[in-house]
Chain A
Amino acid sequence: DAKTTQPTSMDCAEGRAANLPCNHSTISGNEYVYWYRQIHSQGPQYIIHGLKNNETNEMASLIITEDRKSSTLILPHATLRDTAVYYCIVRVAETSGSRLTFGEGTQLTVNP
Chain B
Amino acid sequence: DAGVIQSPRHEVTEMGQEVTLRCKPISGHDYLFWYRQTMMRGLELLIYFNNNVPIDDSGMPEDRFSAKMPNASFSTLKIQPSEPRDSAVYFCASSLALGANYGYTFGSGTRLTVV
Contact = CB atoms under 8 A, between A and B. Distances in A.
A62 to B, nearest CB: 13
Contacts of B109: 41-43
A64 to B, nearest CB: 14
Nearest to A42: B108
B91 A43 contact: yes
Contacts of A86: none
Given A99-B98, A101-B45, A103-B42, A43 B103 contact: no
Contacts of A101: 45
| Interface range, B side | 20 to 34
| Interface range, A side | 20 to 34
A100 B100 contact: no
Contacts of A36: 103-104
A11 to B, nearest CB: 22
A99 B100 contact: no
8 smallest A-B Cβ distances: which pairs? A43-B106, A46-B103, A93-B100, A102-B43, A44-B106, A43-B91, A43-B109, A43-B107
Interface of A: 32, 34, 36, 41-46, 49, 51, 93-104
